[in-house]
Amino acid sequence: MSDDKVEALRVSFDKLVPCIEKLVVVTGDLAEQHPILLDTLLFSATAMLIPESWILRPLLSLFGFGPFGPVKGSSAAWAQRTFWGAAVKKNSWFSALQRAGMKGTVPRKIIGGIGAGLGFGSGVLC
């Protein structure tokens, strides 16, 4: 790189240093004063970054939500037969799980509900 480009990068980085310092201080204050909130934010950010299919698709297959629908003889097939029969209601919890098993994606509100149910961020598991 030429000296002009290096100097331009140095000037740009010097403008970022105060922002980085402020971010580090705010994060430290948050960790010290609100550790549960920090845990919740970290869990939420992680849940948003990790593809759901890596975790949820294998888990859903354990219950019988396969790529072509509920697997015959599984607990998913039992739940469909018991609660809905052949007609699964649109936007029901079962349709969301069935869609996740087939496509590998789950609406974010399902992940939030699972996290809230498990007690993430509330200190229940700690």
For 31, 53, 67, 88, 106, the CA distances from 47, given in Å and listed in that order, are 19, 11, 22, 28, 12
Residue 120, domain member (yes or no): yes
For residue 5, is pLDDT > 80?
Answer: yes
For residue 89, is pLDDT > 80?
Answer: yes
State the Cα–Cα distance between residues 106 and 104, nearest whole angstrom.
Answer: 7
Residue 72, domain member (yes or no): yes
Q: Which residues pair with 126 in a beta bridge?
A: none
Residue 37, domain member (yes or no): no
Residue 91 domain boundaries: 52-126
Domain count, the chain: 1
Residue 74, domain member (yes or no): yes
Residue 112, domain member (yes or no): yes
Residue 108, domain member (yes or no): yes
Residue corresponding to tokens 């290096």:
6
Give the pLDDT band of residue 126 (cuts 50, 70, 90).
Answer: very low
Residue 39, domain member (yes or no): no
pLDDT at site 33: 92
